[in-house]
């Protein structure tokens, strides 16, 4: 295992020569009437052959890296989620060539506007975000080792003051609130591992990243940043599902959506509940749940509340993978991939 280096800013906000890399945003927002909304947007870069994604890696594309996005907007009042997934996107010639972070794929633009300001723009989002805290470096230096001889670089911007618009069914809605950003890169090929991940933003100014990774051999971590930007990293973490589940009518996968979170060494005890249950994302034969949370609990003897996001990966479709591919993925994937070779040729010039 090579010696890993601490994440450095602003250099490491840009791209890296790794198998997989992504820039991820989520947020809980409100309009001027107090109606609640949530969003998620992730821009991925993947080495097609080395990542070995199901179906995608089988296509002989004349490019090394594949770029795609996963995005959603959720209307909390109406309990509706509007997902949008792109399988291949044409990158802009200026991507990652500007002094600060800049990337444009398809209609999605992600860029850094100043020392702590960011813009995210797509067909459904037009948001400006200002980071109110220094980056949260996972593990203290911005990386951690996964089970086995693997590692991942990872940092978060946990407190992004957000203003702008979201678009739902062609209607632009002015919103404001708080967002979260993750940037992660690793030399790890695709595996059907389980991943239970939370981002939590409490009203007292405490932000928490916590997760459990793996099936048999599990890796747990919690990273905490208080309102004064003091960061702590702990491995003693308890995650217990508390009964609320949702079964997808499409994949028949059942997702545990309510959880009790304990960080005993810090006196943190939280309960989270989903704000919208139907939040499944489908990327070919890969299915996962991603959505906003209501949070309440205690830190020590003080009550706290807030908002968060939950991501659940590794819940295999109960209908059987071949049947799922036939019923849900065939038209979506294979029809779209008819145009990928030509798109790839256009990218090359």
pLDDT beyond 50 at 330: no
* pLDDT of res. 349: 45
The pLDDT value given to residue 253: 94
Q: What is the pLDDT of residue 317?
A: 85
pLDDT band at residue 347 using 50, 70 and 90 as cut-offs:
very low
Residues 283-294 have pLDDT tens digits of: 877 899 999 999
pLDDT tens figures, 177-203: 999 999 999 988 766 778 999 999 999
- pLDDT at position 321 is 52
Domains and CATH numbers, the chain: 16-347 (2.40.370.10)
What mean pLDDT is predicted for residues 328-344?
49
pLDDT of residue 71: 96
Residue 111 pLDDT > 70, yes or no? yes
pLDDT above 90 as % of the chain: 68
Average of per-residue pLDDT values in the chain: 88
Query: Diameter of the chain by CA atoms?
Result: 62
* Nearest alpha carbon to residue 142 among 181, 184, 180: 184
**How confident is the model over 146-181, as pLDDT tens digits?**
776 678 999 999 999 999 999 999 999 999 999 999
Q: Which whole-number Å values give the CA distances from 104 to 76, 207, 214, in the listed order?
A: 29, 29, 32
Annotate 142-201 with DSSP letters as a single string. Answer: TEEEETTTEEEEEEEEEEEEEEEEEEETTEEEEEEEEEEEEEEEES-------EEEEEEE
Distance of CA 288 to the CA centre of its chain: 11
**Tens of pLDDT along 202-241?**
999 999 999 999 888 888 999 999 999 999 999 999 999 9
Question: According to the model, what pLDDT value does residue 56 have?
Answer: 56
Query: pTM score, two decimals?
Result: 0.90
The pLDDT tens digits of the residues spanning 2-49 come to 667 889 999 999 999 999 999 999 999 999 999 999 999 999 988 877
Q: Is the N-terminal amide bond of 10 cis, ω within 30° of 0?
A: yes
Among 306, 308, 309, 310, CA closest to 202: 306
Confidence of residue 302 (pLDDT cuts 50, 70, 90): very high
Confidence of residue 333 (pLDDT cuts 50, 70, 90): very low
């Amino acid at each position: 295992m090579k010696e890993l280096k601490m994440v450095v800013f602003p250099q490491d906000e840009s791209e890296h020569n790794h198998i997989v890399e992504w820039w991820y945003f989520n947020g809980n927002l409100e309009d001027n009437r107090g109606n609640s909304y949530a969003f998620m947007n992730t821009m991925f870069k993947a080495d097609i052959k080395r990542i070995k994604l199901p179906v995608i890696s089988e296509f002989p594309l004349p490019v090394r890296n594949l770029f795609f996005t996963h995005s959603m907007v959720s209307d909390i009042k109406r309990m509706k989620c509007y997902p949008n997934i792109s399988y291949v996107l044409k990158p802009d010639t200026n991507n990652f060539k500007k002094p600060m972070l800049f990337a444009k794929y398809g209609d999605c633009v992600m860029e850094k506007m100043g020392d702590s300001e960011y813009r995210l723009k797509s067909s459904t989002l037009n948001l400006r975000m200002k980071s109110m805290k220094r980056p949260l470096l996972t593990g203290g230096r911005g990386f951690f080792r996964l089970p086995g001889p693997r590692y991942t670089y990872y940092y978060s911007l946990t407190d992004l003051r957000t203003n702008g618009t979201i678009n739902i069914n062609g209607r632009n809605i002015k919103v404001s609130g708080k967002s979260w950003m993750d940037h992660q890169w690793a030399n790890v090929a695709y595996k059907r591992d389980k991943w239970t991940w939370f981002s939590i933003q409490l009203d007292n100014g405490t932000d928490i990243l916590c997760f459990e990774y793996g099936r048999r051999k599990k890796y747990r971590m919690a990273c905490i940043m208080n309102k004064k930007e003091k960061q702590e990293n702990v491995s003693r973490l308890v995650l217990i599902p508390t009964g609320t589940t949702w079964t997808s009518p499409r994949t028949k996968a059942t997702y545990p959506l309510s959880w009790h979170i304990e960080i005993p060494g810090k006196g943190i005890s939280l309960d989270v509940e989903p704000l919208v249950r139907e939040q499944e994302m489908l990327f070919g034969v890969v299915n996962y749940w991603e959505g906003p949370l209501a949070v309440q609990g205690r830190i020590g003897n003080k009550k706290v509340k807030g908002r968060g996001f939950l991501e659940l990966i590794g819940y295999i479709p109960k209908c059987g993978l071949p049947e799922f591919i036939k019923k849900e993925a065939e038209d979506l994937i294979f029809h779209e991939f008819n145009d990928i070779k030509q798109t790839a040729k256009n990218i090359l010039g």
